[in-house]
Amino acid sequence: MTLLLCGAAVPALAGGVVEELKLGILDHDVPDLWSGFRAEPDSVDINIEALLSPSAPFLGGTVRPALGGTINTVGATSHAYIDARWQYEMPSGVFFGLGIGGAVGSCSWRTRI
């Protein structure tokens, strides 16, 4: 599990393939967040994501393709993903998004005792 520590979004230039770039820092494998156990070392993940065009309005938000990846800073599990993302953004810049797609990861499946 990961927990977002901070993030930033940068709108891309009009007319390009990339509509928005997002960069975030995540806390990797947060203890007791969901599973109640830790499988990997305490570390930091760097996340980068691109929201691509074209986009289509849907249910008050926007649907568009997203491509991204999370890189672990100590060699624990990293992954890359692609999805169709529905995102609703409030005037303040706070957003909510849901996506469906696929991911590949480096899954080490080791247990720390």
pTM above 0.75, yes or no: no
Amino acid making up residue 62:
T
pLDDT at position 52 is 92
Query: In this model, does residue 94 exceed pLDDT 70?
Result: yes
The Cα–Cα gap between 80 and 105 comes to 6
Q: pLDDT tens across 6-39, in order? A: 455 555 555 678 888 889 888 776 666 666 666 6
Of the candidate ranges 14-18, 29-33, 53-57, 62-66, the one whose mean pLDDT is the lowest: 29-33
